[in-house]
Chains A and B, each alone.
Chain A
Amino acid sequence: MQPQRPLTQNILPERPPLNLSEYEKAGGYQALRKVLAGMTPQQVTAAVLEANLRGRGGAGFPTGRKWSFVPMGPEAPQPKYLVINADEMEPATFKDRVLLEGDPHQLIEGIIIGAYAIQARMAYIFLRTTYTVAARNIAAAIAEAQAKGYLGHHILGSDFSIELHLHVSAGRYICGEETGLLNALEGKRANPRAKPPFPPVIGLWGKPTVANNVETICNVPHIINHGAAWFRGLSRVADGGTKIYGVSGKVKRPGAWELPLGVTIRELIEESAGGMRDGLAVRAILPGGASTDLLTADHLDVVMDFNGVAAAGSRLGTGTMVVVDDQTCIVGLVANLMRFFAQESCGWCTPCREGLPWLAKILTAIEQGRGEPDDIAILKEHIHLLGPGRTFCALAPGAMEPLQSALKYFEEDFLRHIRERRCPWR
């Protein structure tokens, strides 16, 4: 029997997650046994590469390729690390939470296999500070797996050993940035690092390190169990697998669902989320989290995969969208996002540290009716000045995405605020 919704097959609302024996009964840890019984690390990486699994954290980098950058063999630096990025702090994103709270053993099995593929001896789960339920469930699952010998020395009698630690973050958005996360794990300021060097070569404590998203790593046991062809077949598009999509905003049934990669925005809003609340219409969509470009009601038939959303001028990001209705002020939305990004800047590079607060102040002023005609020019200038390559990491360019698309599609809203010296939506 080949599952259609592998990631969430064991997750039922209102029920605690499967414990170890239940997870094993449901076919759990079979992928791990298969790997340890007869697959080389290279074969595991090849399988993941063949499955076209792209990172689910937002950037969509092919997971198998990321693993293949890690130095292998007896000469490779030791210890190597696998770090799971469970610091899901993108505003309006809650898709990893489903997996973290709902099926921690699936995560642990994925981690062990991923660590085997890169021959890491140490793994960390870097968890968002507010995910207390997840923390409890994961800690319990780690203890169970430890007791049963899935974690620790000589797993299932093999030569492979792995130590897994749960690290609960202190709670900053920038900790979700791969290298900021590594610094945070080391007990330093969560400033991103310069690249190169890239973490697979010089990462945690200067050693080779792979950082994978929760959803990404949870796919790995299923790819091992059912094969790359099956995984690619789950998707409607070229990239393999399912995706946990989410919808929030003033829809009838906000939530998160595992669906084939490549559903349309319309399907998500109208079928999964039950459509807009009565009397409201879609005006804009943040398709993949706060740091993606807004789309409009004209984009409802855009396919929600990496390439489809990119073609429409935005990013799939985390695949959890915010639907903006026609009663919500776009300027207020952008101002709110900008305050968030300004607040969460680590303060390392000038454009982000100084530029974002300035923009937040301007946007707040416009929203409150204190905008000035020259403000639009300053906003537009910053879209270029804070673009990709100008800043140290992707935080500020990400912050520019909702702003630039808001100015592209809704500039008149901004001008009305400035002309009327008030928010027309209030």
Chain B
Amino acid sequence: MPTIYIDNQPYTIAAGQNLLQACLALGFDLPYFCWHPALGSVGACRQCAVKRFKDDKDTRGELVMACLTPADEGTRIAINDPEAVQFRAGVIEWLMLNHPHDCPVCDEGGECHLQDMTVMSGHTYRRNRFPKRTHRNQDLGPFINHEMNRCIQCYRCVRFYHDYAGGTDLNVFASRDHLYFGRFEDGALASEFSGNLVEICPTGVFTDRTFKQHSSRKWDLQTAPSICPHCGLGCNTLPGERYGELRRVRNRYHHQINGYFLCDRGRFGYEHANGDRRIRQPLHVQRGKVPATPLTAEAALGEWAAMTRAGGRLIGIGSPRASLEANFALRRLVGAENFYAGLSAAEQAGLSAVCALLTDGPVPSATLQGAGLSDAALVLGEDVTQTAPLLALNLRRLRYRKAAVMAAGFQLPAWNDAGVRELAQLNLPNLFIAATHATRLDDEAFGTLHVPPAELLRFAAAVVAALDVPEAPEPDKGDAVAAMAWQTAQALLKAQRPLVVAGLAEGEPALVRAAAAIAGRLKAKGRAAELFVCVPEANSLGLALMQPKELAAAMAQGPAETVVVLENDLFRRAAPSAVTAWLAQARQVVVLDHLATQTTALADLVLPTAVAAETAGTWVNNEGRSQRAFAVMVPSGAARPAWRWLQAMALAMGRVDLKAWQSIDEVAAELAKALPCFQPITELTPAVTVPTSSGHLPRQSHRYSGRTAMRAHLDVHEPKPPADADAPLAFSMEGFDGPQPPGLTTRDWAPGWNSEQAQHKFQGEIAGLIETHDTGRRLVSPAGKALPVEFSPPAQAKHLSPGEFQLVPLHHIFGSEELSMAAPAVAQRAPQPYVGLGPDNGFAVDGQAIWLRIGELLTEQIVRIVSGLSPGLLGWPMGLPGMPPIVLPAVAKVEPS
């Protein structure tokens, strides 16, 4: 722990930092632009200059860039030295020479790092009398708005997009004071992580284009900590609301999960909450026989009471995209014996396998950030960019990590981004990917293998065999599977912290078991091996841990009395004909959902629920971590949290057993009592540790404007803010506005720091644990059994006749996920319906229409060539609107047109 001297005061700091990190971690205000905690130092902007002195006798000193200077033992600096202050004022004056000063019309205003730094550096008057340079802006697609004139050339955008996230279509063009950051021509940014430019850009060059449609100021948004509902990773988000509308999603730093970044699906999928398909009133539908008639909540509950008056068995179908509490409330309503998972058979089998491995498997599950720290990784059968996008972003850090280890040998610290990347450039990381087709991450991989699903298992078996006998000679290159397995095993064995990634995307649970078997072998050999399992939805694992019965079992029982479907479109889970038939035979169907789906269309009664950002709820992510989200806003109309509907339904039936539930904590407590594995979720509501009179913290900032005017056209009296029993947060601007306690961060803000860069004010150490964000409790952690996991030997591939293809699933970050596709911006980025064939398919060329027979279905589809797809395989885009739903496994036969 070195001691450094700042303005002659000694400070003890963490080792291995640069001066900028050290100063910020100590709470000093030192302005900067090009440095970013996740991107490291390059020394471009020159804004963080400080005076460094040789020793206590040195009075002259020299200016150094804090970001490029190691904070070594005994370093003496002055932040407020007049020369340093003057130089920093000079830098900001230069940066502002061409800036348009259009803050009043800029979406960044109020959370602009450039504004903050300009004030901090003391630049007030403009001395430049010459014209400003101007640029033409580009159309960068539905996510990102481009306004190049605001650019201060800090290079953070290209360093994130190109260097960190592996994007290729955003770059810096031209030179001198005519630098241009953009694409080579107009067009949608191709990276799945482009939305992070909104936060990476210190000013308003790259702003959220969806937010622009209904823009607001940061200080006018009502915000609360939430969890992303668009995949299974559980990224922490900070959605913002104004005028009853969800207006944007920002990243909420979590040091073990998403860190500083979100994927575009998570950032821009939020508009499903505002879209046309949103259900806001109870609907009397009668299975589409009558036009949907809106009902009041009372009338709807009356209708429900009438439905159930005759008695009969209730069947409840739970959901992987509903919170634990909602699922548990349904389980209580219908009884555990009648609680079924709304999962496909393959999903349920896969999730059961995952649950078993995470509770009794050989190795612990990796955190998302931990995955980025591994020194060798194998991805087995998963296109992670599409199914667990932020894992792909973290695996892209492996190359840098590898180079940083080498750099240490040159006395080059890991934060020296420019220096480390010089070393990194020809070094591919020890990343191996085996999948049915070429994946987006292949460009980062040392080795790739593209084989049919059965061969993936043969590959995994070969890796296990190679790990068991590491001294075996390298197999002949002719057998690609064996050769890559040997190479992978060698690399994993050389690693200290190897990672094995698998998931449910292929619909083959044996792949997850195979991954665990590989990780278990590595652990047995003394490696700190970890397993990372990608699960499809935000609460897939939570639902599976509740051990619901299989959907197929419910459907197999024949006609049901009353079916209650919770936030689930069953047409995504089982064969459409079977779902239609089963629902048609049920005496009555009640669907609780916030989006109109094929299932709501077949209901008798639809009850409108709250989206994730409108309700408190507990979500279990892929690593088995439970996290609590809080409502950002009160849902409009009659929508309410699903568990409250279910409670009201029980009451309407005359049952009193759920009557006691006043808050989400009480639901959670009862869940923990019923299913002890959920015990940790009773600790999820953070304690309010700051002085408040009400015990609540405000969701609205101290600058929240228009409070008394917002409803003045309806009523000049300001209504009392709605109460919220589910969170220690109030729908109000009143209350404590200082640093927020753990887990209750409603904004990134500190005095003088209005942008998300304020985060470091709350981190004990830069890019380390934010005291206020260390949330979530793991529900599962394996005892670390030494027993090797076995997985079934490769199944013999089904014999295919000429013209027959085995269907393999293809997933799309934009297209495969249900909720985000109700957001117009995300839908715009989704592919058109297609089927994928390999380059050597021998049947069709790209763009050709072919007729396919899949079971009873006869369909015409456009062929797209999918790189790496083996002959005999046909890629089927999962969940893509416009594609007929298919239950895998299936075989397609090409029909003559």
Contact = CB atoms under 8 A, between A and B. Distances in A.
Nearest to A346: B175
Contact of B97 (A201, A347, A354): A354
A342 B176 CA distance: 7
A194 B42 contact: yes
B418 A172 contact: no
28 contacts: A172-B175, A189-B175, A194-B42, A194-B68, A196-B410, A197-B412, A205-B426, A206-B427, A342-B177, A347-B176, A347-B178, A347-B179, A348-B155, A349-B43, A349-B44, A350-B45, A350-B94, A350-B95, A351-B46, A351-B90, A353-B94, A353-B153, A353-B179, A372-B129, A381-B90, A389-B62, A390-B87, A391-B46
Contacts of A351: 46, 90-91, 94
Given A194-B42, A355-B94, A381-B90, A345 B177 contact: yes
B416 interface: yes
B422 A206 contact: yes
B887 interface: no
Interface in B15-61: 42-47, 49
Interface string B114-129: 0000000000000111
Interface string B587-623: 0000000000000000000000000000000000000
A206 B178 CA distance: 29
Interface string A345-365: 111111101111110010001
A350 B33 CA distance: 11
Given A196-B412, A202-B419, A353 B46 contact: no
Interface string A364-382: 0100000010100010010
A350 B176 contact: no
Contacts of A385: 86-87, 90
A413 interface: no
B172 interface: yes
10 residue pairs, one from A and one from B, having the closest CB atoms: A354-B94, A345-B176, A385-B90, A194-B418, A347-B179, A361-B130, A347-B175, A206-B423, A357-B177, A197-B419
Contact of B410 (A194, A201, A357, A372): A201
Nearest to A179: B422
A160 B87 CA distance: 51
Given A353-B153, A354-B95, A357-B176, A202 B422 contact: yes
Contacts of A345: 175-177
B87 A358 contact: no
Contacts of A349: 43-46
A193 B422 contact: yes
A350 B423 contact: no
B422 A392 contact: no
Interface in A370-407: 372, 374, 378, 381, 385, 389-392
A343 B130 contact: no
Interface in B250-306: none
A344 B177 CA distance: 10
Given A193-B418, A350-B95, A351-B91, 6 more contacts: A201-B410, A347-B176, A350-B44, A350-B46, A350-B94, A353-B176
B64 interface: yes
Interface in B366-420: 410-412, 416, 418-419
A264 B453 CA distance: 80
B684 interface: no
Contacts of B423: 202, 206
B118 to A, nearest CB: 13
Contacts of A346: 175-176
Interface residues of A, number: 38
B424 interface: yes
B177 A354 contact: yes
B577 interface: no
Given A197-B412, A385-B87, A390 B176 contact: no
A79 B95 CA distance: 41
B132 to A, nearest CB: 11
Interface residues of B, number: 45
A368 to B, nearest CB: 13
B689 interface: no
A411 B574 CA distance: 85
Contacts of A189: 172, 175
B63 interface: yes
A355 B46 CA distance: 12
B897 interface: no
B153 to A, nearest CB: 6
B706 to A, nearest CB: 38
Interface of A: 172, 186, 189, 193-194, 196-197, 201-202, 205-206, 342-351, 353-358, 361, 365, 372, 374, 378, 381, 385, 389-392
B45 to A, nearest CB: 5
A365 to B, nearest CB: 8
B94, B418, B426, most chain A CB atoms within 10 A: B94
B177 A353 contact: yes
Interface in B72-108: 86-87, 90-91, 94-95, 97-98
A391 B127 CA distance: 21
Contacts of B174: 347
Given A201-B410, A349-B44, A350-B47, A358 B90 contact: no
Contacts of B97: 354, 358
A201 to B, nearest CB: 6
Given A205-B425, A361-B130, A196 B46 contact: no
Contacts of B153: 347, 350, 353
B158 to A, nearest CB: 10
Contacts of A205: 425-426
Nearest to B416: A194
Contacts of A374: 127
Nearest to B33: A350
A194 B91 CA distance: 19
Contacts of B64: 389
B45, B412, B419, most chain A CB atoms within 10 A: B419
B63 A390 contact: yes
Contacts of A381: 90
B675 to A, nearest CB: 54
Contacts of B68: 194
Nearest to B158: A189
Contacts of B47: 350
A201 B416 CA distance: 15
A345 B424 CA distance: 26
A202 B410 contact: yes
Contacts of B87: 385, 390
B91 A350 contact: yes
Contacts of A354: 94-95, 97-98, 177
Nearest to A344: B176
Nearest to B41: A194
Contacts of B152: 350
Interface in B111-159: 127-130, 152-153, 155
Contacts of A361: 130
Contacts of A378: 127
Contacts of B63: 389-390
A370 to B, nearest CB: 10
Contacts of B46: 349-351, 390-392
Contacts of A186: 425
Nearest to B98: A354
Nearest to A183: B422
B76 to A, nearest CB: 17
Contacts of A347: 153, 172, 174-179
A383 to B, nearest CB: 12
Contacts of B127: 374, 378
A197 B94 CA distance: 28
Contacts of A342: 176-177
A357 B131 CA distance: 12
A358 B94 contact: yes
A269 B415 CA distance: 51
A158 B248 CA distance: 69
Contacts of B44: 348-350, 392
